[in-house]
């Protein structure tokens, strides 16, 4: 009997098992809630900032679009071929700062954040200067690749006016990542929101009241971008970051070559990603009725780009969270942050997927009143919806790569999937199979799908404890060199 009594608890485990399952569920929910709060502390202002900054371009495009179809097509080409390409490269180079600042902040090496910021400014301004001729010779470039003379001339004029934005990006991108890595995202959100509000008013005055046309619209955008730079710069150097900003330092030139290599790898990774769908607009320019096709596609891409600011917010937040956890030596924390980020991003994308399918061509009324362009947008709305859904995962996985320092590896993945699969498939569907712009877009979606699957595989198979060890060694190496 004594033996039976000793075994009795083992024979009646149901209540305890239920309590254990409930306890595990509560703990999992609590952990999810804690991580979600950390994530949204970065995501919410990051999304707002990106939507506001992208809104500057949307407002500019909307005003230009109502000037005429040719003006809209010229602006789309200029913003895509030159500004878009160069922005993609600078954006990628600045993402190196997310890796380094995020891991330094997680390891509590606060002083290094300011050093990394200055180093990034120097590198990006050098590359920005080197890329300047692409703006000046834009018209010749477009004529060389077979665009129409009238479209090339107007796009060339616009591209020169976009130069101030080019250098503003070289200053702003490192500032934003420096602040995000310290969870000072309200600063980036506030400056972007103030600039957008001012931009709407200034653009209206210059375009509608003073009748300055496309020059007025682009000049207003230039001013607004520099206003954001000025606001964040004053906050940083004016005492807003006492732990991480100790003034300008010659340390910014130390390990300069190593920083350039990481920045270049980051630049290649994200610029290939950024250029990919921008090439869609350029390829569409060779179709019949190209002006209408480019107008419709540019409207879809603008809507896609605006919604993409949400996954990009998760990209930034995931990069920061993963880098923070790795810098703190927690591989498990980094893995959990990735799961929460991807799940949340997909749920949001499903909402917008339904929204696009329901409203289809009505979403284009903001940009044009042309019936033929509205009809073309209607035909492309299904592709737009599925692009939005797919892009809810891919940028987050890119954020994982940024937080972990995998930029060089992902650059190879991007080249293979985008330029050896997506674009050839799009060209095949667009011309030989006569599916037009829808075929080009469908092929490029295929390339993105393959890239997403490869990044997902790399993320799942990664040994995050080993990644945490590598990040700790990087921080220790800096400490030993001091």
Determine how many CB atoms are found less than 10 A away from the CB of residue 297: 30
Determine how many CB atoms are found less than 10 A away from the CB of residue 244: 24
Q: What is the C-alpha to C-alpha distance for residues 94 and 55, in angstroms, rounded to an integer?
A: 21
- What one-character DSSP code corresponds to residue 1? -
pLDDT in single tens digits along all 482 residues of the chain: 444 444 444 344 444 444 577 778 888 888 999 999 988 988 888 889 888 988 898 888 888 877 877 787 788 777 766 676 777 778 778 877 877 888 888 888 888 899 999 998 998 999 899 989 988 888 888 888 777 788 888 888 888 888 999 999 999 999 998 998 888 888 999 999 999 999 999 999 998 888 888 889 989 999 999 999 999 999 999 989 998 998 888 887 777 777 787 777 767 766 777 677 767 777 887 777 777 787 788 788 878 877 888 888 888 888 888 888 888 888 889 899 999 999 999 999 999 999 998 887 687 887 777 888 888 888 889 999 999 988 888 888 887 887 777 877 887 888 899 889 999 999 999 889 989 888 999 998 999 899 899 999 989 988 888 888 887 776 666 555 55
Closest CA to 309 of 249, 349, 339, 367: 349
Structural domain spans, the chain: 32-481
Q: Is 290 exposed, middle or buried (0-12, 13-18, 19+ CB in 10 A)?
A: middle
Closest CA to 119 of 242, 267, 238, 256: 256
Tokens of 463: 């040994």
* Cα Rg of the chain (Å, integer): 24
Q: Are 90 and 170 in contact (CB under 8 A)?
A: yes
**If DSSP codes are grouped into helix, strand and coil, which group holds residue 145?**
coil
Write down the pTM of the prediction.
0.74
């Amino acid at each position: 009997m004594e033996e039976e009594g000793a075994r009795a608890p083992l024979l009646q485990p149901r209540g305890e098992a239920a309590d254990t399952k409930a306890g595990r569920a509560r703990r999992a929910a609590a952990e999810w809630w804690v991580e979600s709060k950390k994530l949204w502390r970065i995501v919410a202002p990051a999304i707002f900032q990106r939507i506001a900054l992208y809104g500057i371009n949307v407002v500019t495009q909307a005003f230009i679009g109502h000037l005429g179809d040719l003006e809209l097509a010229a602006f789309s080409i200029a913003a895509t071929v030159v500004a878009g390409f160069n922005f993609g490269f600078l954006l990628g180079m600045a993402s190196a700062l997310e890796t380094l600042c995020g891991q330094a902040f997680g390891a509590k090496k606060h002083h290094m954040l300011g050093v990394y910021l200055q180093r990034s400014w120097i590198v990006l301004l050098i590359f920005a200067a080197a890329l300047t001729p692409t703006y000046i010779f834009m018209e010749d470039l477009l004529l060389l690749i077979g665009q129409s003379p009238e479209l090339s001339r107007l796009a060339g004029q616009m591209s020169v006016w976009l130069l101030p934005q080019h250098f503003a990006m070289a200053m702003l991108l490192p500032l934003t990542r420096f602040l995000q890595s310290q969870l000072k995202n309200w600063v980036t959100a506030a400056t972007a929101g103030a600039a957008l509000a001012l931009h709407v008013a200034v653009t209206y005055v210059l375009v509608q009241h003073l009748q300055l046309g496309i020059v007025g619209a682009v000049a207003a955008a230039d001013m607004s971008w520099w206003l954001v730079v000025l606001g964040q710069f004053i906050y940083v150097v004016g005492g807003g970051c006492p732990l991480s900003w100790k003034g300008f330092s010659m340390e910014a030139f130390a390990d300069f070559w190593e920083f350039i290599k990481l920045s270049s790898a980051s630049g290649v990774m994200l610029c290939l990603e950024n250029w990919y769908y921008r090439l869609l607009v350029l390829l569409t320019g060779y179709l019949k009725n190209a002006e209408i096709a480019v107008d419709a596609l540019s409207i879809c891409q603008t809507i896609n780009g605006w919604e993409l600011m949400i996954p990009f917010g998760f990209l930034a937040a995931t990069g920061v969270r993963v880098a923070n956890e790795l810098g703190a030596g927690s591989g498990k924390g980094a893995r959990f942050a990735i799961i929460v980020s991807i799940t949340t991003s997909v749920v949001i994308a499903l909402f917008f997927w339904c929204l696009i399918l329901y409203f289809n061509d009505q979403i284009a009324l903001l940009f044009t009143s042309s019936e033929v362009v509205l009809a073309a947008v209607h035909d492309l709305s299904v592709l737009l919806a599925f692009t939005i859904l797919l892009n809810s995962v891919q940028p987050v996985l890119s954020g994982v790569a940024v937080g972990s320092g995998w930029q060089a590896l992902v650059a190879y993945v991007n080249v293979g999937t985008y330029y050896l699969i997506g674009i050839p498939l799009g060209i095949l569907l667009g011309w030989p199979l006569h599916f037009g712009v829808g075929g080009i877009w469908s092929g490029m979606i295929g390339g993105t799908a393959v890239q997403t699957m490869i990044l997902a595989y790399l993320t799942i198979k990664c040994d995050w404890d080993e990644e945490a060890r590598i990040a700790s060694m990087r921080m220790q190496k800096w400490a030993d060199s001091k």
